[in-house]
Structure 1
Amino acid sequence: MSHKPTTVNELGEFTVLIDARSPAEYALDHLPGAINCPVLDDEERRIVGTTYVQVSAFEARKIGGAMVARNIARHLEDLFHDKPRDWRPLVYCWRGGMRSGSFVNWLRLVGWDAQQLKGGYKAWRAHVIEQIALIAPQLDLRVLCGPTGSAKTRVLQALAADGEQVLDLEDLAAHRGSVLGGMPGRPQPSQKGFETALMQDLARFDLGRRVWVEAESRRIGRLTVPEPLLQRLRESRVIEIDATPEARLAYLLRDYAWLADDPQGLADKLGTLRELLPKDVLAQWQAWALHRELPPLFAALMAQHYDPLYARSQGRHLERLAHAQRVACDDLSDAGIHALARHIASLP
C-alpha cells in the first residue's frame, strides 16, 4: 500500500474524493462528486491565518494543529466509522499541502489506502482550463440565434430530447443572458464552478457529431464564457430562427409569467436599464411592472430594447451570420417548438 501523489487523470480509481478545504472554498468550486470534510472551517482558517501574520508561523501551526486533529477525529467518528478496509479515499486541499497531507496521514494510520491529489485543487483548476482549451476548438457547433422570444433554449431542449448533442450555456450559468435573465431559485455559480461544469459537458461530447448551442455574448449574467469556446462559437455555422413578433410575444408571456409574482423585483430589474432609456419610458415600464401588466411591457421591451440590441450585436458576435440558414416560424407553442426543432435538425 504505497503512498504516492495522485494526478487528476487517476480520479476514477478511488472510492470517494474528499475536499479538505473550508466550506467557503468548497462552495466556490470543487472536484465533481467530492464531499467536503474541512480540516479547518472558515472561522478556524481565519484565526490561523491571522495568527500567522500577526504572531508567527510556529504559533499558527500550533493552534491550527489542534484544530485539524479535532476536526479529523470528528470526521472519522461521524462519517467514516463504518468504512471497510478496502475503502480508498483521495484527499485534496488548495495546493496539495498540509491540510490534505495531515488528513491522509491519519487515514493511512487507520489502515486505508488513502492518497493525496498532487497539486490539490490548483491542479484540478489547471486541468479544467486545459481541457476547455483543448476540446472547444474541435467542436462541430451549430449556433442557434434569433431575437429574444424566439424560444432558442426550448428548441435546444427539444433537440436534446430527440438525441442531439446540446450545450446549454444558460443552464450551466443559471442565467438567460438578458436584463430579466435571472432564474428563480437558482443563483449563478462562481466563475470557477461554471467552468468546471462546462468542462464536464464538453468532455462527454462525441467530437464526430454536431453540437447545438445558443448564440451568446461574452457574458452570461455575471459570468464570462471562456475565450476558446467563445471564439469557436463566433466562427461556427449559424441557424437563425425568424419567428413572428406575435409568436415571440406569446412565448415570452408564457415563459416569464412568474415575473408577475414579484412586481417590485421586476421593476427593480428594469431599473438597470436607466442609462439606456429615456426617463419617461423607464417610468412607464416600471409602472406596468408594478401593476403586473406584462403584455404591454413585453411588447415594448421587444420593440424598443431587445430587437434593437439584437440587430446591433449579432453581426459582431457571429462571423457567419450573413450566411445563416433562416427558419421561419409562427408557432412557438410546445407543439410548435418540437416541430421547429425537428425541422432545424433536418437542415443540410
Structure 2
Amino acid sequence: MSVHPIPAAEAMARLEGFSAIIDARSEGEHAEDHLPGALNWPSLNNAERVRVGTLYKQVSPFEAQKIGAALVARNIAAHIEREVLDKPKNWQPLIYCWRGGKRSNSLALILGQIGFRVHLLEGGYKAFRSALLADLPAQVARLNFRVVCGPTGSGKTRLLQALREEGAQVLDLEELASHRSSVLGMIPGRPQPTQKRFDTLVWDALRQFDATRPVYVEAESKKVGNLAVPDSLILAMRDSPCLLLQLADDERVALLLEDYAFFARDTDFFCRRLDALIALRGKAVIDEWKALVKDGQIEPVVRALLLQHYDPGYASSTRRNFNRFGDAPILAACDRSMATMRTLARDLMASEN
C-alpha cells in the first residue's frame, strides 16, 4: 500500500505537484468550498449522506456504518471505472474529505492498493481551511498593491481588464465575488460564492503573484456584496499607493448603460433593486426613478444615480478609508473604450518600471 499522510501547510505549498486533487465529500460540501482545482468524487452523495446520518442518529451507528460501507464501496468502484482505468502508475493524487476520516481513507486505501502513490490530507478540508486563514496575512504581506480609485462608472474594472491583458498582475475582487460592489451590484444569474469559497479564491490568487511586481486592485469597501474582504487584505489596500481614474460624466453614464444593460432588459428587476435605496434617498425620489424606468427612460435614472447617489461624498469617503489617496496620480481617460484603457494600462506599467 502506498498512502502517505501530508500536513495541510505542506500540501498547500505543493498543490501544483499532485497529479489530481480529489475531494471525497458530497456535492454540497464541495460546492461550499474546496481546495483549488479539486475534483469531486463523492464517497457519499448528498442524499446518501443524509440517509446515513439519519440512520446514525435514529437507529444506531452500527446500522449506519453497514449501509454507509455499501454505498461508499459502490461509489468508489464507479469512480475508479470512470476516472482511474486510464491513469499511469506514476499518477499521484491528493485526497481529502472533511477531517481526514473514513470517506477519504477508503478511497486512498483502494487507490494505494492498486499501486498508486496517494497523499492523504491530514485533518482534511477542516485543516486546510485553518491553514489557509493562517497563511492569508503572509500572502498579503509579501505583495505590493496599487489601488485603482475613481467614482462609480469611471472604468476601474475596464482598466483592470486592460492591465491584465497587458500582462500586469491584477486582483479583481468583484470578479471573484460575482458582484459589482454596490447596492445595485448584484449580477443576474451569478449567485455569490460562500464566504469560505471567496476566501479560498482570494488566497489562491494571492499565492500565485510575483512579489517583485505590483498587484493592481480596485478600491473596495470592507464588503463586496454579502462577502467580507479578508481583514489583512483590506488593511493593506488602505495603506497602499492609490491611482485616481477620471472620466467625463457623459462617458460614465454611457459606460454604466453598457455594463448594466440587463437593467434595461429587465425593468422589474431594476425597480426591485432601486427599492434598496429608499432609506437613503427617500420613497418619493425612488418612486420617481421607478416611474422613469417603467417608461423606458433608463439614461436619466442612471445619471441621477451617479450624480445624486454615488458621487456625493466619494472623494472624502475614499480619502478617509485609503490613507494615500491624497497623493494619487490622476489617470485621465478621454473615453470609456477598451483601446483607451489599454493605452492607460501600458503607460502605467511603463511608469512602474
- SS of the aligned residue for 1:103 comes to helix
Q: Which of 46, 51, 62 is 1:58 aligned to?
A: 62
Q: Which of 103, 106, 112 is 1:108 aligned to?
A: 112
Relative distance call for 1:109 and 1:139 in structure 2 (3 A) is closer
Equivalent pair of 2:95/2:119 in contact (CA under 8 Å):
yes
Offset of residue 346 of structure 1: 4.7
Offset of residue 58 of structure 1: 2.1
Q: Which of 335, 338, 343 is 1:334 aligned to?
A: 338
1:227 corresponds to 2:231: yes
Relative distance call for 1:13 and 1:213 in structure 2 (3 A) is closer
Alignment gaps of 5+ in structure 2:
none
Q: Which of 29, 33, 37 is 1:33 aligned to?
A: 37
Equivalent pair of 1:22/1:40 in contact (CA under 8 Å):
yes
Alignment-derived partner of residue 291 in structure 1: 295
Q: Which of 307, 315, 326 is 2:311 aligned to?
A: 307
Equivalent pair of 1:92/1:120 in contact (CA under 8 Å):
yes
Offset of residue 13 of structure 1: 3.8
Q: Which amino acid letter does the alignment assign opposite residue 137 of structure 1?
A: A
Alignment-derived partner of residue 4 in structure 2: 4
1:98 corresponds to 2:102: yes
Q: Deviations over 1:233-271 (max 9, x none)?
A: 001111112322222122222222232111111111111
Equivalent pair of 1:90/1:114 in contact (CA under 8 Å):
yes
Q: Deviations over 1:32-87 (max 9, x none)?
A: 22211111111111122222223332222222122211211222223323333333
Offset of residue 312 of structure 1: 5.2
Alignment-derived partner of residue 130 in structure 2: 126
1:215 corresponds to 2:232: no
The 2-side partners of 1:333 and 1:13 are apart by 41
Alignment-derived partner of residue 198 in structure 2: 194
The 2-side partners of 1:13 and 1:346 are apart by 35
Equivalent pair of 1:263/1:291 in contact (CA under 8 Å):
no
The 2-side partners of 1:232 and 1:190 are apart by 23
1:319 corresponds to 2:323: yes
Q: Deviations over 1:207-227 (max 9, x none)?
A: 111111110001001111000
More deviation, 212-221/188-197: 188-197
The 2-side partners of 1:210 and 1:278 are apart by 42
- SS of the aligned residue for 1:272 comes to helix
Corresponding residue pairs, total: 348
Relative distance call for 1:146 and 1:57 in structure 2 (3 A) is same
How does 1:256-271 map onto structure 2 within 5 Å? 256-271=260-275
Relative distance call for 1:340 and 1:12 in structure 2 (3 A) is closer
Equivalent pair of 2:2/2:115 in contact (CA under 8 Å):
no
Relative distance call for 1:74 and 1:320 in structure 2 (3 A) is same
- SS of the aligned residue for 2:162 comes to helix
Offset of residue 112 of structure 1: 2.7
Q: Which of 277, 280, 285 is 1:276 aligned to?
A: 280
Relative distance call for 1:318 and 1:223 in structure 2 (3 A) is same
- SS of the aligned residue for 2:243 comes to strand
- SS of the aligned residue for 2:301 comes to helix
The 2-side partners of 1:309 and 1:173 are apart by 25
Offset of residue 148 of structure 1: 0.1
Alignment gaps of 5+ in structure 1:
none
Alignment-derived partner of residue 160 in structure 2: 156
The 1-side partners of 2:281 and 2:290 are apart by 12
Equivalent pair of 1:176/1:221 in contact (CA under 8 Å):
yes
Q: Which amino acid letter does the alignment assign opposite residue 339 of structure 1?
A: T
The 1-side partners of 2:39 and 2:150 are apart by 41
The 1-side partners of 2:115 and 2:342 are apart by 56
The 2-side partners of 1:298 and 1:119 are apart by 51
Q: Which of 72, 95, 108 is 1:68 aligned to?
A: 72
Taking every aligned residue pair, what percent have the same amino acid on both sides? 47
1:241 corresponds to 2:245: yes
Equivalent pair of 2:333/2:341 in contact (CA under 8 Å):
no
Offset of residue 309 of structure 1: 5.3
- SS of the aligned residue for 1:276 comes to helix
Q: Deviations over 1:102-133 (max 9, x none)?
A: 11122223333333111111222223223321
Alignment-derived partner of residue 27 in structure 2: 23
Offset of residue 20 of structure 1: 0.4
Equivalent pair of 1:219/1:225 in contact (CA under 8 Å):
yes
More deviation, 286-295/153-162: 286-295
